[in-house]
């Protein structure tokens, strides 16, 4: 026969104490768990390896370059202006045609100019006829004056001989002294008349020269005007003026053009140069004579910097590159090209590919790959001189280390990432 042993029931005070202990323990556990979670480091994010650009730090020669877009431009370009007003009568050739200096491109019509050229020719002929008539008249007058001078000089010589004879006869007493004096007076009179006629002949000669000079000047003026008018009429047939290819001819038959209007452009496609647009921030180190390489997308052509535009337009500087050697096939004016200009060659330089952010002489932070390549750690890097696709490393990386060059701004708050 078993006996039941009675148990003592806990008192109300002990139950309250046990509940307080349980509550305190639970609260402590919650606080501890909260503190642990708050102090945990965030998990490293995972980045697909195929989506980032990874490059290796190398040591060697760094070729500093700048690159820009440009176009091929002919060395020799001739804009052909209209020398006078006219109406387009006929278009002889179209753009793309090969021309020579005598090739007629456009024929213009200007009846007023043709009439003025005809009037100038008639005025010139009239002036030339007047000059010929004046030359005959003045020559006749000069000959008449010279004949009068010759007659007076002949009378003077006869009178002088008579005076000498009469002087001898008067000394011998064969004639009277009065007759001798009269012969002397007559000789002196003829001498004076001879001098006057001589002066008149000289004046007549000078007058003839002056009259002929005035008329000759008038004839020359009309001849120059006639040549001008005829050249203007001849210029109504617009010619190329040089050998090359007709590039532009923005005209239509019946169109009126004013003097000075550019009618056509002719260029020599055999001699081309490149005009490359370089960003103003990269153009500071470009110097005359630096080597350049022009890519026409069908081949490349070597050249050298020949001119640097002093002005900045739309954030770029125009650099003119003179090309040397044979041009690639398909090279033609206005062809779009890529130009690369070599600034310098630096030997024994630590360099890496140019990152997506950070320029020359700047400090950046890059993710450097660990030895096993499964993770990357953020490190500060100082950059130096830069080129088109590479940049000098001054500190932060060593030879053989690999770094991510892509833009990882989304991971700015992480110092470590995983590569998958």
Instruction: Write out the H or E segment, with its range, that includes residue 266.
Output: strand 262-267
Q: What is the pLDDT of residues 197-245, one digit of tens each?
A: 888 888 888 888 888 899 999 999 999 999 999 999 999 999 999 999 9
Instruction: Write the Ramachandran bin of 373: left for phi over 0, alpha for psi from -120 to 50, otherwise beta.
Output: left
**302 CB neighbour count, 10 Å cutoff:** 12
Average pLDDT score, the chain: 86
**d(C-alpha 256, C-alpha 412), whole Å:** 67
pLDDT score for 73:
92
Q: What is the pLDDT of residues 251-283, one digit of tens each?
A: 999 999 999 999 999 998 888 999 999 999 889
What is the pTM (predicted TM-score) of this model?
0.58
Strands (E), 110-251: 237-239, 244-248
Instruction: Give CATH 2.40.30.170 domain extents, the chain.
Output: 49-73+271-419
pLDDT reading at 397 higher than 80: yes
Q: 72-86, 153-167, 233-247, 382-396: which has the minimum mean pLDDT?
A: 153-167
Instruction: Give CATH 2.40.50.100 domain extents, the chain.
Output: 83-108+236-267
Closest CA to 418 of 371, 356, 373: 373
Rounding to the nearest 10 degrees, give the CA dihedral for residues 161, 162, 166, 167.
Answer: -30
Higher pLDDT, 120 or 37: 120
* CA quadruple 44, 48, 50, 51: dihedral sign: negative
Helix-strand-coil percent breakdown of the chain, rounded to 5? 35, 35, 30
pLDDT score for 357:
83
Say whether 384 sits in a helix, a strand or coil.
strand
CB 268 within 8 A of CB 74: yes
Question: How far from 29 is each of 19, 37, 39, 41, CA to CA, in Å?
Answer: 15, 12, 15, 20
Q: Beta strands 46-47 and 416-419: pairing type? A: parallel
Architecture of the CATH domain 83-108+236-267: Beta Barrel (2.40)
- Largest separation between any pair of C-alpha atoms in the chain: 231
Looking at CATH, the fold of the domain delimited by 111-234 is given as Helix Hairpins (1.10.287)
Instruction: Give CATH 1.10.287.620 domain extents, the chain.
Output: 111-234
CATH for 49-73+271-419 is 2.40.30.170
Length of the chain: 420
Q: What is the pLDDT of residues 282-310, one digit of tens each?
A: 898 899 999 999 999 999 999 999 999 99
pLDDT score for 94:
93
């Amino acid at each position: 026969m078993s006996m039941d042993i009675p148990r003592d029931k806990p008192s109300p005070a002990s139950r309250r104490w046990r509940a307080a202990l349980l509550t305190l323990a639970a609260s402590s556990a919650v606080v501890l768990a909260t503190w642990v979670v708050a102090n945990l480091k965030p998990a490293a994010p995972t980045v697909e390896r195929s989506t980032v650009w990874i490059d290796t730090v190398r040591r060697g020669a760094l070729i500093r370059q700048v690159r820009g877009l440009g176009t091929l431009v002919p060395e020799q370009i001739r804009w052909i202006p209209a020398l006078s007003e006219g109406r387009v009568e006929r278009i002889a050739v179209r753009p793309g045609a090969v021309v020579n200096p005598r090739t007629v491109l456009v024929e213009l019509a200007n009846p007023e100019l043709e009439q003025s050229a005809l009037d100038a020719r008639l005025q010139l002929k009239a002036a030339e006829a007047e000059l010929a008539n004046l030359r005959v008249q003045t020559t006749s007058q000069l000959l008449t004056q010279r004949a009068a001078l010759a007659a007076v000089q002949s009378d003077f010589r006869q009178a002088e001989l008579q005076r000498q004879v009469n002087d001898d006869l008067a000394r011998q007493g064969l004639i009277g002294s009065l007759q001798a004096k009269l012969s002397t007076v007559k000789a002196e009179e003829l001498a004076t008349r001879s001098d006057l006629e001589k002066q008149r002949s000289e004046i007549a000669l000078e007058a003839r020269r002056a009259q002929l000079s005035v008329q000759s000047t008038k004839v020359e003026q009309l001849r120059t005007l006639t040549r001008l008018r005829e050249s203007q009429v001849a210029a109504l047939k617009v010619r190329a003026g040089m050998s090359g290819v007709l590039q532009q001819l923005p005209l239509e038959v019946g169109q009126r053009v004013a003097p000075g209007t550019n009618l056509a452009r002719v260029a020599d496609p055999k001699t081309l140069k490149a005009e490359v647009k370089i960003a103003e921030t990269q153009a500071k180190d470009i110097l005359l004579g630096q080597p350049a390489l022009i890519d026409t997308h069908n081949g490349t052509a070597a050249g050298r910097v020949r001119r640097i535009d002093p002005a900045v337009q739309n954030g770029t500087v125009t650099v003119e590159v003179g090309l040397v050697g044979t041009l690639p096939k398909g090279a033609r004016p206005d062809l779009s090209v890529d130009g690369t200009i070599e600034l310098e060659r630096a030997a024994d330089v630590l360099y890496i590919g140019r990152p997506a952010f950070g320029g020359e002489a700047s400090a950046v932070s890059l993710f450097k790959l660990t030895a096993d390549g499964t993770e990357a750690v953020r490190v500060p890097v100082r950059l130096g001189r830069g080129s088109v696709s590479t940049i000098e490393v001054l500190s932060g990386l060593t030879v053989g280390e690999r770094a991510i060059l892509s833009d990882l701004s989304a991971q700015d708050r992480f110092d470590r990432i995983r590569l998958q």
